[in-house]
Each structure stands twice: as structure tokens, then as C-alpha cells.
Amino acid sequence: MLTESSHRWLGKKDSAIFTKEILFYSVKRHRIENVGKEGGLAEKGRISLKPGDHLYFIGIGGARLSALAKIMLESGYKVSGSDRTAGRNTWELEAKGVKIYYGHKAEQITDALDVVVYTNAVGEDNPEVVAAKAKGLPLYEGAELLGAIMKEKGMGIAVAGTHGKTTTTAMISLLLIKGGKDPTIEVGGEMKELLGNHRTGKSPYFVVEACEFRCSFLYLSPQIAVITNVDWDHPDCFPTAEAVVETFKEFIRLVPSDGKLVIWHDDPHLAQLRTAAKAPVVTFGLTPEADWYCTEVENIAPLGIKGKLHKNGVYLGDLALQVPGEHNLRNALAALAVATETGVELADCLKYLQAFTGVRRRFEVKGKAGGVVVIDDYAHHPVAIRNTLATVKKQYSAGRVWCVFQPHLYSRTKHLFSDFTQAFNDADILLLADIYAAREVDPGDISSRQLAEATGEHHPDVRYVGDLTALKELLLQETRPGDLVLTMGAGDIYKVGEAFLQQKGV
């Protein structure tokens, strides 16, 4: 049951309840009431959501909604939607015959639609959200629909955490696919093994990347939950670090007593988080105190890592990965704990993980030109930045490391400003792009120029550049053979590395 703290973090206008008779949390402003499991995927009053119904997705190009749209399309539903701009996800959907509008306009919401699904990133004042409310159309946030599918399928696996959830979700997905479990998958990045960010399976297993932003993951119904770590992020939603911890505790309470909670043993908040668990808790980490752990960790060429795998003190063999960093070893340990729980043999899991090649934009090697290696990474939080740069420093010594960072969101940059200023010590040269606004409007009191000035007090070579084209030109002029360029951020900074490689002749 949702407690008073959940109401606080879900927002002042929300009225949320959860009982075993309903399928979704009932959010008052969306008119979702008495949603049961009869008559198709979900029944809401006069509306029965069933194959053939028309679902319209607002923000269909986003990682989560694009995956969800493809799952619904492949499950027999009619799908259309809108987004601000075209991109890889919208192009893939259009190739599948999905009608997509570019730009959000009220007139695109018609009476022909049966259900409207939106991403909470677009905001309540989005003209299509407003139009759907005015027409009285059933209006669900994407996580509500994910929760409905999870409830329907019966064996939900939800992977949450501030960092590492995309890679961990991908690892679990790979193990279940290769292990013959035929899962449905929604992941927030593009898996090379899926050639995309989704899979529509026929078994009860549904693997979902569970995002804490605006408490979206509280709509899910996991049988198994993974928490990779808990840090303060999304300060526009969570005013304090304690608010984040309390929300993760609510997520933990969603796991039933016959389920399983898999969590990082060395998380500073572990003791608090465990108090919320009804289900048995399994821990993972790089110390013998964890249930699943690795010892004798070492890097392997060209960009891998391995360790001696143990469970409850018993040595089980070597865990070796092609992807780098101790953080990825921890991700793999979590994936092993989940996959073996579903019945996939450990020996098979170790073999499949050794073949895992990562997720797009997660330490993705983009290419090499003129003797310069270009890698792209999604890190946009100070902790993730430090982890990624530490990994580079340990595994790359041929030349200088250029970190080309694009801060993501004004609110995050402002609230975590001090942490950002000390996150780049393992880079030889730091270049800063302007802040990527995404859903926010420039408040006028925070900028990359300010971040550069403050970071310069801790780092010998920090340069504010701003424009992406100017960043590319600077790299073309000043990099030399043996250097490594690491583009980093959750926005469109990857374009700098791609343009650099293209102009260099790759």
C-alpha cells in the first residue's frame, strides 16, 4: 500500500491508492478508476483495452515509450504518436507502419483514439495531454501501461537504480533470452543482441528498466526487483537525498513476500532499504560479505574485466566480461542472481555474459581515426562520471584522455554543482558543452561557463567551448595520435565524436 510519503513524492495533485482489486495506481487527475484484469489487457469503466484498439503515444521517440509502442504494436494494437523531433526510434517505428506526428498539437488528439499514453517528461501542460483530458480519453503515463503488462504476464523483473540499470537490464535480458525463457523486454538503451530496445515474448517473464523519475516505477508490479545503487538525482523531483531513499523503499514494498529483492551490498543506504523488504533479500558486490561476489578482480585486454566468482563463500568459477569497469562486474553479479533464480544454469550464464558486448551509448567505442580513439558514454551524474573516467584511466595509457562533457538539465547541474566540479580528475583535458536543456527552460542562474570556472579550481585544464561544432573543430586541431576522446552526457554530445570521426575519414 502506498504510504503518506508516496503521496508527497507523487505530487500534490495526485491521489494514489493500491489494492489487490485494481491493476493500476489510481491517479485522480487521469480519471483512472477501478481498473481490473478482465476483458483484455485492462478494463476501465466503459473502456476495454484489447487487441485492435488504437493507442496514441505522446513522446513516442523516447527510450521507454518507443519500446512500449513496439511491444503493443506487436501484440495486436494499433499505434500512432507524436514527438518533438525525428530520430532513430521514430524512424524504426515509421518503418513498421506507425503514423508519427512531429510536434505536439491538440488537433492530433481525435475521438478515434481509444487510449492516450504519455511520458511524464512532456509535462502536464502539453497540448496533447490537455486535449486528451478535455475529451475524457483514458490517459495513462507510460509506467502505468508497463505495470499493466507486468501484472498481466505475472513474472515481472524490474531493474532500478540511479546508475547501471540499463546495462543490468540488458544483461538480464540476454541471459533469459539465451536461457530459453522467451521474455518480453523494455530497456532504456539499444541492445546489440536485440538490434533495438525491446522484445515481445510469449512467456510470463517481463524484464523492465524501472525509472524513479517522478516515481514512475511505483506503477510496476515486480516479482523480482533489482536495485543497483541509490544516489541523489532528479533534484527537480526529489528535494533531498532522503526523498530518493524513501521512494526506493516504496518501490521495494511492491515486491511480494514470495518474490526476491536483489541489491548492491555496499550501497550506503542498504540498512534503510532492507527495512522495507517483505521478500527475501539477495546481495551482490565485490566483498565477501555479499551473497554473490567477486575477488581477485583484474582488467583484461582489450577493454574487459574479470574476477573469481563466489556465492555464499563457495567459489564457482571465473566471471569474465568484454565490457570494462568494476561497475559492470557488479551489474553482471546482479544479472547472475536474477537469471539463476529463474532457472538458467550458472555455467550457461557465465558463457553468455562473456559474449555480452554492451549497450549503445554505454562506453561505446565509436571508432578510431588519425590514431585517436573515440568512445561515447551516457554518464551524466557525478558518480557515474567518476566511475567511467576511473575505468578509462585504468585501462588506457597510450595518450591523453579528452573528456567532452555536456551537462544534462539545469536543475541537475545546479543542485549537484559541487560534486560535478570534482568529478573529472581522471581526465587530462576537460571540454564543456552548453547545458542540454531537455524538458527544462534556462533559469538564467546556472551555466557550463560557471561550471568550467569552478571546476578549474580542481583541474589543470578545463575549457568552456559551448557549441558542438566548435568542440569538433577544437578536437580536430589539438588531438594527436594516441589520444582518447570520451564524449559524455545524456543529450546529443555523441554527435561531436561522430562528426570528428567522419571528418577524419572513418
Active site residues: 165-166, 209
On whether the CB atoms of residues 143 and 221 are closer than 8 A, the answer is: no
Residue with cell 536483489: 262
Angle between helices 494-504 and 468-478 (to 10 degrees): 50
Question: Which residues of 8-149 form beta strands (DSSP E)?
Answer: 35-36, 42-44, 47-49, 54-58, 78-83, 99-102, 115-118, 139-141
- CA triple 280-285-291, angle to 5 deg: 40
On whether the CB atoms of residues 336 and 260 are closer than 8 A, the answer is: no
- CA triple 150-67-84, angle to 5 deg: 130
Task: Tell me the three state secondary structure of residue 338.
Answer: helix
Query: Which H or E element spans position 209?
Result: strand 205-209
Query: Which H or E element spans position 114?
Result: none
Please state, in angstroms and rounded to a whole number, the distance separating the CA atoms of residues 403 and 376.
Answer: 10
Task: Tell me the three state secondary structure of residue 123.
Answer: coil
Which amino acid, one-letter code, is at 353?
Answer: L
Please state, in angstroms and rounded to a whole number, the distance separating the CA atoms of residues 432 and 488.
Answer: 10
Task: Tell me the three state secondary structure of residue 3.
Answer: coil
C-beta neighbour count of 151 within 10 angstroms:
20
Non-local (6+) Cβ contacts of 460 within 8 A are: none
Please state, in angstroms and rounded to a whole number, the distance separating the CA atoms of residues 121 and 141.
Answer: 10
Non-local (6+) Cβ contacts of 271 within 8 A are: none
Q: Residue 372 has which C-alpha cell? A: 585517436
Give backbone dihedrals phi and psi of 367, rounded to 5 degrees, phi first: 155, -175
Angle between helices 63-74 and 142-153 (to 10 degrees): 50
Which amino acid, one-letter code, is at 458?
Answer: H
